[in-house]
A = this chain, B = another copy of it.
Amino acid sequence: MTDARIALDAMGGDEAPEVILRGAVRACSSHVAAPLAPERILLVGDRARIESGLNEMGGNPGFSIRHASEVIEMGDSPATALRSKPDSSIGGCVAAVRSGEAASVVSMGNTGAVVGASTIGLGTLEGVRRPAIAVTIELTGRPLTLLDMGANVAPKPEHLLQFGLMGATYAQHGLGVGSPRVGLLNIGEESGKGTDLLKEAYGLLASSGLEFVGNVEPGELFIDRADVLVTDGFTGNIVLKLMEGFAGFLFGLMRRELSEHHAAWGGEALGRLKRQIDYSEYGGALLLGVRGVVVIGHGRSDESAVANALAVAARTVDAGVNALIVKGIAGDPAAI
């Protein structure tokens, strides 16, 4: 498995293909913790632009290229674009995984299009009812994986149970967290709190064999109460966007305050804080539950975020997380 390739969408993201290519080179450099062999990377997109981009950077270090003539833009409607642009770079990445040419998709492009193309093109893992978007942040010095962050706005209790199992499998084998604690995002700690969905999911998780720590309130994201936090895709998306917006707002206020006083120090300290709450530092979002490892980064990912996303993809492929998810779901009668 360790030489399984990663299909990298060279055309996705605000500064594609340049930032993507630099990220790919960086992922293979000795500057990162676990450098990849360039042969593991399959660049998907406009061949001429990729080749000339690589030439400007000193040549192709050994990447493969798969041509795709079309690009799904960030603002495109995912459903429409997937139909009207059959030769998109996102579609090419998914096709490479479907044909066995690659084991993983990494894209900084249109999130909805990547989710749609992967779900339809790859299908779900055996036993998995719904894929979920998992995002890992590190607020407390330990990684916290939240899911679902937007794939299913109205899941059923059994879906949340599977999200818990998928998240725990990823946390343990992809992130190296021993016996991951799984919590349910809710508005109070007592088991009777929240919506009917959450009350039922609480019961399923409590009897699942997972290390279930019960309901976790939003304020507890910041105090290391759980390693995996389960929620529906609507609430998860609200949480993700609120944290992004709020952080941006607070940093803006701070920057204004600081610029009047201590600009030099301020920039540096803000940078440190920003990295701590930025999930792109953790390699983007994983679409768990599909037949392949799919990593979706932020459109404004920089070179380092692209390299991180590639590292997450490689680690998740090499750890065999998907096979372990299938085993976990098969072994847990409550999960089916």
Where the two chains meet, the residues of A that have a C-beta atom closer than 8 Å to any C-beta of B are 139, 150, 153-154, 185, 187, 194-196, 217-222, 234-235, 237-239, 241-250, 253-254, 257-258, 261-262, 265, 269, 272-273, 276-277
Contacts and interface: CB of A to CB of B under 8 A. Distances in A.
A153, A238, A247 interface centre (most CB from chain B within 10 Å): A238
Contact of A246 (B243, B265, B269, B272): B243
A247 B276 CA distance: 14
Contact of A219 (B194, B220, B245, B254): B245
Interface of A is mostly: helix
A255 to B, nearest CB: 11
A218 B234 contact: no
A254 B254 CA distance: 10
Contacts of A153: 187, 194-195
Contacts of A222: 245-246, 248-249
Nearest to A251: B250
A238 B238 contact: yes
B245 A221 contact: yes
Contacts of A265: 261-262
A219 B249 CA distance: 9
B242 A219 contact: yes
Given A187-B150, A272-B257, A239 B241 contact: no
B245 A273 contact: no
A153 B199 CA distance: 12
Nearest to A237: B187
Nearest to A258: B269
A216 to B, nearest CB: 11
Contact of A195 (B150, B154, B185, B262): B154
A168 to B, nearest CB: 22
Contacts of A220: 245
A238 B254 CA distance: 25
